[in-house]
A and B are shown apart, each in its own frame.
Chain A
């Protein structure tokens, strides 16, 4: 774990706490975003946290970055921080210098078609494409899968949003010029799906942190029958369930990114993703039940988190994708599931 972590997390959380009001998150509904917060991120070079030092970054690690993603989820910050930094992380992975222009990334889709350096095809649900200059995505040429970089000026862009009003645009490319391409091995592709998944898990864990906190706070403030509602045992049960899901989600995130950092992430990234899918449902249900009517309105901020959870759980490499992958991994394995869970390997005798 990097020593910078605590300091960076503290600085960024302070920025988000001060600058991201309810109205800031609501900007998305009016087809705007928090450009001032993004400027602060750029000025403080927070977007460079995981970029290697030789590429002008701070040389942080995955853990630093994913903890920042958790904060983006926790404050529902309407900026393309995850997309831009993840795009750059992936570019460094294939030895391309990171972009300074705003970039986005989209991997969980049918790849575009690449022919003689030109790209064609369509992509749906591309995050933040309308505001970004560069896109990192996949394309195939004669059966070979490559990671490509393309200028978004080459795309016809149609604006769409996800359940939480976050930009998720449709792109159409016709013989678009690509800026770079790099063939991917199966292994590399798998690693990238894990990076993308860990990023989503981080955001989800953050939104869960907040939905839980809001519920505890509300149960203390709201009074019915002459007492705060947390005095009722059935409300307490919701709080206990929320606390449990929050703790489990946090532990799932921490354990999976620790393994990713060590280069030992196997099925665990998928496990975290499957668990967070469940946790999202349970947390959204209980948080709304605690908040009752005010929670299902735009006036209260709970929906910033529950709508994101509902949107994110179906984005990127989602539950259905990972269940299938896990089943494939296990079908002909001689390892039992206990071997998998305990990461049985040939340990050198010492």
Chain B
């Protein structure tokens, strides 16, 4: 597989500089604290509104919906800078990454006009409702059911591992709108459910760190109006697959533990540990290599190319790399991992270690991804 190389333009370099300077200032002001895996675990609605004020949510979207019609490479630069500094961007992350593009592609005019401007302003956050207690990797086996009633649908069932449902206003929910047949990928639809609706219960599932970013979401006779069906009824599976390329190939699949790598290197420099720097250079080389791949996929995506297999590839290799960083760093420095340690490197190590097992599970387990890649390779 050969992906294109991307050379950033001068304007893009300037934009990166602008974002970096802004984030460093906010960090110094104490607006946020650097954290590993902040794109998933760092939900801060107030910070998201600050980002919105900069025009940095939905920046690639059409101007009529409040976007700035910037390129997806610009957005790539922006998200990279968020991840590198470990900024708390989880609140708006899913709407910016997935829901916006989904609605732009499949949504009705009403949905686009109603949701997109609110998302852009940082006033409307989304969760993605896919997994269920008995449907994980075998996602097409979802059982949450929507039954047709006058003017809408009545939803019953449960979603689980829903990131950030506690701060989200809406959830794009994969539900069964037709009875199961032999072809279980058919008869699924995507409904936008208002999480404040009657009959919705959200309960936290605490992560290994003790933090709350996963949830169980229960639906007990929840009414969803007809205008909240996304795209074509029964086409939910295909629509959902289209989102996955964005979800799997982005910089968040290689940079989740980057703040630890960065801090470890600064520490090695302070200690004038040339041997340690030599050892850690392997990780930097690997990151550089993965980043080329991830940016290459972003470029193909922007040009409308097919990236299902290469996105699976970025995620499977990239997440393994994210897991490797804490394992190497702990051998190069005197460390003691603690979530509330004073020393940044100890804190980031604790976060990285405890978050690491999730990297190769969320968004498609590595085992499922290997299957997708092998299938693509054998067909090619």
Contact = CB atoms under 8 A, between A and B. Distances in A.
A243 B5 contact: no
A251 B374 contact: no
Interface string B237-271: 00000000000000000000010011001100100
A237 B169 CA distance: 39
Contacts of B274: 324, 327-328, 331
Q: Which of B7, B278, B378 has the most A CB atoms < 10 Å from its CB?
A: B278
Nearest to B13: A347
A270 B285 contact: yes
A80 B80 CA distance: 43
A330 B373 contact: no
A220 B378 contact: yes
B7 A230 contact: no
A212 to B, nearest CB: 9
Interface string A257-298: 010001000011011111100100000000000000000000
Interface stretch (B42-50, B59-67, B137-145, B290-298): B290-298
B277 A243 contact: no
Contacts of B373: 239-240, 243-244
B313 A327 contact: no
A240 B315 CA distance: 12
Given A250-B1, A268-B288, A337 B11 contact: no
Contacts, number: 151
Interface in A214-255: 216, 219-220, 230, 233, 236-237, 239-241, 243-244, 246-252, 254-255
A7 interface: no
A341 B370 contact: no
B284 A337 contact: yes
B287 A247 contact: no
A193 to B, nearest CB: 16
B316 A240 contact: yes
A288 B80 CA distance: 37
B317 A248 contact: yes
A14 B282 CA distance: 36
Contacts of A251: 2-3, 5, 289, 292-293, 296
B279 A323 contact: yes
A240 B284 contact: no
B374 A341 contact: no
A236 B379 CA distance: 13
Main DSSP-derived SS at the A contact region: helix
B358 interface: no
Contacts of A240: 313, 316, 369-371, 373-374, 377
B14 interface: yes
B303 interface: no
Nearest to B15: A347
Given A240-B377, A328-B274, A349-B14, A262 B7 contact: yes
B173 interface: no
B276 to A, nearest CB: 8
A350 B11 contact: yes
A327 B277 contact: yes
B150 interface: no
Q: Which of A219, A340, A341, A345 has the most B CB atoms < 10 Å from its CB?
A: A341
Which bucket holds chain B's interface residue count? 35 or more
Nearest to B259: A338
Given A236-B371, A337-B262, A255 B275 contact: no
Nearest to A336: B262
Given A239-B374, A239-B378, A248-B293, A255 B5 contact: yes
Interface in A297-350: 322-324, 326-328, 330-333, 336-338, 340-342, 344-345, 347-350
A331 B282 contact: no
A344 B16 CA distance: 9
A249 B2 CA distance: 9
Interface string B171-190: 00000000000000000000
Q: Which of A220, A258, A271, A333 has the most B CB atoms < 10 Å from its CB?
A: A271
B266 A271 contact: no
A148 B373 CA distance: 49
Given A246-B1, A275-B288, A337-B284, A347 B316 contact: no
Given A323-B279, A326-B278, A338-B84, A271 B313 contact: no
Contacts of B323: none
Contacts of A323: 278-279, 281-282
Nearest to A233: B371
B227 interface: no
A200 to B, nearest CB: 15
Nearest to B375: A236
B310 interface: yes
B272 interface: yes
A341 B284 contact: yes
A233 to B, nearest CB: 7
A278 B317 contact: no
Contact of A275 (B80, B262, B285, B377): B285
Nearest to B255: A338
Q: Which of B1, B84, B261, B281 has the most A CB atoms < 10 Å from its CB?
A: B281
B2 A331 contact: no
A275 B285 CA distance: 6
A340 to B, nearest CB: 8
Given A247-B3, A272-B285, A344-B17, 11 more contacts: A240-B316, A243-B313, A244-B373, A250-B2, A251-B293, A254-B2, A271-B285, A331-B269, A336-B262, A337-B261, A350-B10
22 contacts: A233-B367, A237-B370, A239-B374, A240-B374, A243-B377, A247-B2, A250-B2, A251-B292, A252-B288, A254-B5, A262-B7, A271-B285, A271-B288, A278-B282, A327-B278, A327-B281, A331-B274, A331-B277, A337-B265, A338-B258, A338-B262, A347-B17
Q: Please list the 6 inter-chain residue pairs (A to B) with the smallest Cβ-Cβ separation, ordered nearest first.
A: A236-B374, A274-B285, A327-B277, A240-B373, A240-B370, A271-B285
Interface of A: 216, 219-220, 230, 233, 236-237, 239-241, 243-244, 246-252, 254-255, 258, 262, 267-268, 270-275, 278, 322-324, 326-328, 330-333, 336-338, 340-342, 344-345, 347-350
